[in-house]
Amino acid sequence: MGNKADKLRIYANNEQSAFLAKCFGCSRFVYNYFLRVTTDVDAESKKSLRYKEWAKLLISLKSEFEWLKEVNSQSLQQTLKDLESAFTRFFKKLGELPNNN
């Protein structure tokens, strides 16, 4: 049995487009920030950070960068889960080391 996919196109108004752009930008920032933090911690102490530690750090990051509060928290949390998944695939030798978006 083959794969099946549906394509959808969203016709967003200006306000919705601006909100989606904020969500994408904040998600990209969070992904790159925690990728850098994780690689720095690993290089210094050989300690591995994962989703639970990142989620705790995300709270303090949102207080440091107020504009992260403008988007919904679920999209930022999903970004952290995606990063964890990328690291898991890398350690299982199913993919490459995660890199900046």
Is residue 2 a part of any domain in this protein?
no
* pLDDT tens per residue, range 17-33: 999 999 999 999 999 99
Q: In the chain, at which residue ranges do the beta strands (DSSP E only) sit?
A: none
Is residue 12 a part of any domain in this protein?
no
* pLDDT tens per residue, range 2-11: 889 999 998 9
Is residue 38 a part of any domain in this protein?
yes
Whether residue 101 contacts residue 25, with contact meaning beta carbons closer than 8 Å, is answered with no
Is residue 37 a part of any domain in this protein?
yes
The identity of residue 7, as a single letter, is K
Domain count along the chain: 1
* pLDDT tens per residue, range 43-87: 888 888 899 999 999 999 999 999 999 999 999 999 999 999 999
Predicted TM-score (pTM) of this structure = 0.86
Is residue 53 a part of any domain in this protein?
yes
The region, left, alpha or beta by phi > 0 then psi within -120 to 50, assigned to residue 96 is beta
Is residue 65 a part of any domain in this protein?
yes
Q: pLDDT grade, residue 12 (50/70/90)?
A: very high
The region, left, alpha or beta by phi > 0 then psi within -120 to 50, assigned to residue 7 is beta
Structural domain of residue 84, as residue ranges? 23-91
Is residue 86 a part of any domain in this protein?
yes
